[in-house]
Structure 1
């Protein structure tokens, strides 16, 4: 578990602010009156069963969807109409990494650097550091069409960090990764939060949330039903339960 449990009380700024947000798809309400503040430098794990509203929440945080009601601010920017500066402040790693198969990994990173307006010198210097961090040296100059899922995921993570975002949103970051790739990603997420980056992680892998998250939020039927550190969740009724057992208990209660 991360050790930063009272960041807002200690004066850290708010990286993600979700204020009474609801999202409707026609007559269906996918997210209900969601209010959440995530401070700078926190690794926040968002848990929930399929269809709980996690993906819709992520899309509103990244500015891909506008809330029906309420407001979302990320790094101080209103994400209902995100500016270029707003988009430069965040990065998003989806659950299915998408690459251009006819580009090499290095080409893809340069393409990403060009999009964000990073100078060639900065892109080369930090890009090489990321290539080493993700252990991509032996394949980064091969075409992406030859990459395994794990290789693709490493490259997408590296490209997402190239512009040094203030907020990183990741959706199921460990899906399909082998143990070595999983360890690299876990170490990387922990390191960048320690350096001040905020991470919003949606995952079904409960042991990853238990190991990494500073705080955990559980969403069910579009509502935030539990929020706190692992210790706070246990104090609130999960004493003696694993996170998996507590998650199943809470989501079962919501069905009643």
Structure 2
């Protein structure tokens, strides 16, 4: 009898540990465990190549070049509303970026203001694009989506790992997407949120992330058979950032 009670307690304890472990894993996957690794690694050379192709030169509080790169190593997150951004010398540009160069540019060009950490992007052989990052939901709501933040039907943590896969393109600054998968942490977004109405809503609001740059004109952003991102549009060649 005592042996049976002991076995029952052991089984219940094991089940409880498994349940708690599963709950922790799901919760931790939202931000603590890091985003999905797409296998895209980049070097400083990839970032330099990306800057050369785009032609962008950045000055932050008087810092440029190596001085700015050194400062960025420990840069704190800042609100775009606390700074003045001056964009100038706009030029028409056509270029291609590899997955490593694109990932380097997105992570390194403005880490103090960018809303996504540990971001990776890549193009699969069939032209499908993948993206993975940790999104700073709190700052996104404050900087870009304060007008609709209260309309989100689900409570979201301040930081959230996201992963997406599908066909994506931008034509004349308008995003078009055909998502196959979208994950929030380890939880896949239900299919009803990937249907046309929901996708159209995402296409309406996502461009705020890149049209925050005044005068930016993305004539087209697609991919090619070499797994590269292909850009055609008008972008500023000089960016100056100063505190208000």
TM-score by length of 2: 0.28
Report which of the two has the higher share of strand.
2
Flag the structure with larger Rg: 2
Structure 1 length normalisation: TM-score? Answer: 0.27
